[in-house]
Amino acid sequence: MSQSFVVSIAALAIASTCYGHALAESSPGGPASLLFVGTPKYLEAYLFQLMQPFRIAAGEDQILTQEDIDEADRTAQAQQRSQVMNMFFAADLNGDLNVTVAEWQKARAAAPGNGLRDLFEKWDANNDDVVTVEDVYSFAKTSSRPSSLQRKLDLSTFMALEAAQDGKLTASELEQAGRATFRQYDVDNDGMLAPSELKRFSEDQRKHQQGQVRQVGAAACGLPKARTDEKVLFVSGYEAAALSTVTVAGQDKETNTAELNIEPGKDPLFIIATSYTPMIWRVTGAAERVSRFVTGAGSAGVVGLGKDRVTFADLYRCLPGWIKPEQASAGILDAINMLTGSSAPGVFSSYTLSKVTLPSEARPPAMLQKHAVPPSVQFSWGPLRPTENGAVASLKRFSPGGVVSVDAGSVVSSAGAAPYEVLPQEAGLAQLMQDGKLEFDPKLGYIIRRAIPRFPAGLAGAHAVVFVLADGVPRPVGRPGHSAVLTLEQAKSKLVRRGGVQLSPGVPEERIKRLHP
């Protein structure tokens, strides 16, 4: 379940007394009422692991209180902020309290891992390829730290013990509770756990920790509870088959759009919708049935519902952005039940979303099927003129639903919605070619003949292309992703290296002159 629940450190702002009480009551007499630390084989080792965090947090009087837990949490968060800021200062090579992409790449070149560029982009809140000390500090305040989370969860579990109901816990009280827990598994009472006993301890410990994370995640999500008359539906996808003409994630990120068609019926629908990519959910059909629509905050929008029926929650703290169909039955159902206070929701999960008919296509998780490609996807041209070229062919391959025109004014979004200056990915290439600003040469790439507002968003990975700047044309703003951006001379030089002395048959020099008079 560790991959299914991402809990931010910000969740720790929830009062420990609240969720500690919930933990104590969640399973009376079961694992939640016991104390789980480490993987102890001997009683002495178990008591040491149990008492160590208590001794550190309890202070000089060695009596643990809620104030002690809050202080330990503040210390842990300060340490986390310090670690993030140290990474920033290590990359600030000229000491001006700003880190450019070039500085970051130089400073981190020898570091292992492939997520460094992604980390820089998370820091760069305004996407200007320069990270300020304020940007990083803002990130550091909300970044997650599983170890500090677990520490606070353990301490809060201590305070949920019966001995701590007066708000205080002494060392002797904790030790007595720990010995009682160990005796639950030490059947022969010899002070050590046999392999079978240790296995049972570990299994109960895993269940207990999952319950802790779910409880905190549920509180951190800010998800409203469903009414008893509401039917809960959960829709999840990695991406959608169509691109949107409106962005809810900024001009440098692609926004997808999917349709949720609501069937006529009497039961009010409580819909939770998540996706990995930024998404605009278009609610059509009997939209009046939707009593509450919940989606992620920051990179999602909804069309077809009033803002009074839409809730933007921090779903990433308790649910993944995309739930694979084969994973949906592995605890996700329990999580949704806990979050909404309902039971047996209907689930629809697909890598690529197009048009989902609800509630009939939402099924119990055990009945979910993989959808490699959404069935019956109809290609939409949106603002593009119907034509055929390489960019359009790629658009149809990557986005079989094409481009859907969306009215920015009709989008309900917590982050705001705006029309794209240039459409994302291959739709943007087709748009610029349609406007006569871009011309494709099979040997050089996409030649920018006239100034364009910005690079199309999302040209990374398989979407990457080669841009060639004509003489006198300025480099566009925005991010080209993994696409190469070359001057005309650089492109000609690369063509020479690929083809030898002769650039290519057909006198490409003449072609270049024709393209750039």
**Over the stretch 70-107, which tens digit does the pLDDT of each residue have?**
888 888 888 888 888 888 898 889 999 999 888 887 87
Measured CA to CA, the distance from residue 418 to residue 95 in angstroms comes to: 36
Confidence at 33, pLDDT banded by 50, 70, 90: low
What pLDDT does 70 receive?
A: 86
Question: Residue range 253-280: average pLDDT?
Answer: 95
Token pair 């393209």 in the structure block, residue: 515
DSSP 454: B
Measured CA to CA, the distance from residue 413 to residue 415 in angstroms comes to: 5
Q: How far lies 268's CA from each of 248, 273, 288, 289, 494, in Å?
A: 27, 16, 8, 5, 61
CA dihedral (348, 354, 356, 361) positive or negative: negative
Measured CA to CA, the distance from residue 220 to residue 216 in angstroms comes to: 6
Q: Are 163 and 176 in contact (CB under 8 A)?
A: yes
Structure tokens at 308: 């009074």
SS (H, E, C) 156-176: HHHHCCHHHCCCCEEHHHHHH
Question: Residue range 302-318: average pLDDT?
Answer: 88
Q: Which among 409, 362, 371 is positioned nearest to 245, based on CA atoms?
A: 409
Structure tokens at 2: 């560790």
Q: Is it the case that residue 8 has pLDDT exceeding 50?
A: no
Measured CA to CA, the distance from residue 517 to residue 504 in angstroms comes to: 20
Of 147 and 428, more confident: 428
Confidence at 249, pLDDT banded by 50, 70, 90: very high
What pLDDT does 27 receive?
A: 35
What pLDDT does 439 receive?
A: 95
Condensed to tens digits (0 to 9), the pLDDT of residues 110-147 reads 555 444 556 777 787 666 778 888 888 888 876 654 44
pTM above 0.75, yes or no: no
Q: What is the CA radius of gyration of the chain?
A: 28
